[in-house]
Structure 1
Amino acid sequence: MNSGILSLWGIWDTVYQCCTRLQYVDREKNIFRIVLLRYRGEVLATADGQEIRPGDLIIKLHIHNYRLAKMFYGLHNETKMALLLRKRILESLPQLAAFVAALPQSAQIKGVVGTTMLSKGAEKLGFSVSQVPLTPFFRYKRWYLKLMIRLIHPDGAKRLSRNQDLVLNRVYMSKAELFRRYLPEGSEAGA
């Protein structure tokens, strides 16, 4: 990606942020943006035996793609990119847990749910993973995320041609597991 496209993306990202309900966990340091909403979808059984059901209050996770693109700018080694992404996610999860614990609605939140093509290794971080149904919405989201890969990854077009069937997955974790793994003891104000 060239610097001109990255600059335009930064402008678009600012407009997009203003037009959505996305909240920053930490504008400067965190890879996630979130939306608090009611879950709509099939029942999700988490790794720790809990269920996220339709109507449950959840945190919808969004990776901040523009921040990701800036992080990857100038990198051409896929392994370095994967390690950097993993490092940023590991740094962001404790902050996310603290953010969720501090929300006034924290006691009602059942878990965190995201949709991504970057789910490799998610189980090791405490997430459960399942494929999304191929509804029109998820077909559109798959197309959009492929566009993001094309823009963010230095060899995005080649990567997409090698992996014709990139799978769109749902990653999810119960709030209890998020707190158990990533929230310092004694910080569970709303849990």
Structure 2
Amino acid sequence: MNTNLLMLWGYWDEIYQRCTRLTYIEKGNNIFRVVPLRYRGETLRTSDERTIHDGDLILKIHIHNYYFATLCRGVQDELRVALLLRRHILQSLPRLAAFLEAMEEREQIKGIVGTTMLHKGVAPLGFSISDVPMNWFFRYKRWYLRLMLRLVHPNGKRRVQTWKHDMPLKRVYMSKELLLARYGQGASTGDTL
């Protein structure tokens, strides 16, 4: 990625951060930013058979795209980018679990929920996956995430053109109980990098 473009993105990211109320889990050392909010959508059933209903309190997770872009700078191999993302998600999940455990609203939070096009390979990490309705909000989000992919991915332009009609936006989610059991204090995931 062009250094000047990355610098401009850094300025934009600071503005975005302030406007969205996103909280860093651990700035510069965690791939997630989060915001507690009420879930809006169809009922979600997690892999451990728990449910997240419309109106439940969740921790909305966002991959910190700018931070990840800085980590990927100079990486040209597509597989290395995917492995780098997986490694950082695995390293970030225990800190996310600790953050949730320390929240005042932890008893009311039902789980973590995010929206992404990078959903392949997340099921073994404990996430469940479902479709999102393609309303105006998710159409905008899909456009935005395609732009991010184009900027971050070593072959982003070609990848976006190739996937023009096949880049499904998915909801990824996990119950609070599963997150804490797998990644909370004293837990061992057994996942390998």
TM-score class, shorter: over 0.9
Would you say 1:6 and 2:6 are equivalent positions? yes
Per-residue CA deviations over 1:154-181 (Å, capped at 9, x if unaligned) read: 2111011222211100000000000010
5+ residue gaps, structure 2: 188-193
| CA RMSD, 1 decimal | 1.0
Identity %: 56
Q: Partners of 2:143 and 2:90 in 1: how far apart?
A: 27
Residue 145 of structure 2 corresponds to which residue in structure 1?
A: 145
Residue 190 of structure 2 corresponds to which residue in structure 1?
A: none
Contact (CA 8 Å) 2:129, 2:173: kept in 1 or not?
A: yes
Would you say 1:116 and 2:144 are equivalent positions? no
Which deviates more from structure 2 when the two are superposed, residues 82-91 or residues 161-170? 161-170
Divergent runs of 4+, >4 A? none
Residue 191 of structure 2 corresponds to which residue in structure 1?
A: none
Residue 133 of structure 2 corresponds to which residue in structure 1?
A: 133
5+ residue gaps, structure 1: 187-191
Residue 185 of structure 1 deviates from its aligned partner by 3.7
Residue 152 of structure 1 deviates from its aligned partner by 0.8
Q: Partners of 2:19 and 2:118 in 1: how far apart?
A: 25
Residue 103 of structure 1 corresponds to which residue in structure 2?
A: 103
Q: Partners of 1:136 and 1:20 in 2: how far apart?
A: 18
SS class of match (1:134) = coil
Contact (CA 8 Å) 2:28, 2:67: kept in 1 or not?
A: no
Residue 175 of structure 1 corresponds to which residue in structure 2?
A: 176
If the length of structure 2 is used for normalisation, what is the TM-score? 0.94
Would you say 1:62 and 2:62 are equivalent positions? yes
Count of aligned pairs between the two proteins: 186
Q: Partners of 1:185 and 1:81 in 2: how far apart?
A: 29
Contact (CA 8 Å) 2:59, 2:111: kept in 1 or not?
A: yes
Q: Partners of 1:56 and 1:18 in 2: how far apart?
A: 24
Per-residue CA deviations over 1:10-67 (Å, capped at 9, x if unaligned) read: 1111111122210000012100000000101000000000000011000000000100
SS class of match (2:98) = helix
